[in-house]
Amino acid sequence: GENVEQHPSTLSVQEGDSAVIKCTYSDSASNYFPWYKQELGKRPQLIIDIRSNVGEKKDQRIAVTLNKTAKHFSLHITETQPEDSAVYFCAATPGGYSTLTFGKGTMLLVSP
């Protein structure tokens, strides 16, 4: 089955800095890669996603890149703010059905 590795497990940045979280996946059939933000005690919420026919996607301060050959994808947050502090999960679909395989998560801490 699909295996998703995510790094780093924790990331501390100063407000205004950029943050990058990286994920790799194992199943070359995976074709959809969402990123979820989870604040403490709350539901995972989709913040951005990318499909395998696109190399990069941007939404204001958030961008995601995908390298299908290397089987890795990354989340980039620019001009970080304290409210960006949360756990971020990457995920991939193994194909067939939209079953998500999640990475272990990255706790992002943005200090004012």
Partner 1 sequence: EPEVTQTPSHQVTQMGQEVILRCVPISNHLYFYWYRQILGQKVEFLVSFYNNEISEKSEIFDDQFSVERPDGSNFTLKIRSTKLEDSAMYFCASSDEVRGTEAFFGQGTRLTVV
Site for partner 1, rule CB under 8 A = 31-32, 34, 36, 42-46, 49, 51, 89, 93, 95-105
For residue 96, the minimal CB distance to partner 1 (Å) is 7
CB-based contacts of 104, cutoff 8 Å, min separation 6:
5, 6, 9
Residue 90, strand partner residues: 35
For residue 17, the minimal CB distance to partner 1 (Å) is 25
For residue 91, the minimal CB distance to partner 1 (Å) is 8
What does each C-alpha distance from 60 to 13, 17, 77, 90 come to in angstroms? 19, 15, 9, 19
- Cβ distance to partner 1 smaller for residue 17 or 58: 58
- Cβ distance to partner 1 smaller for residue 18 or 58: 58
Altogether, the residues listed in the chain come to a count of: 112
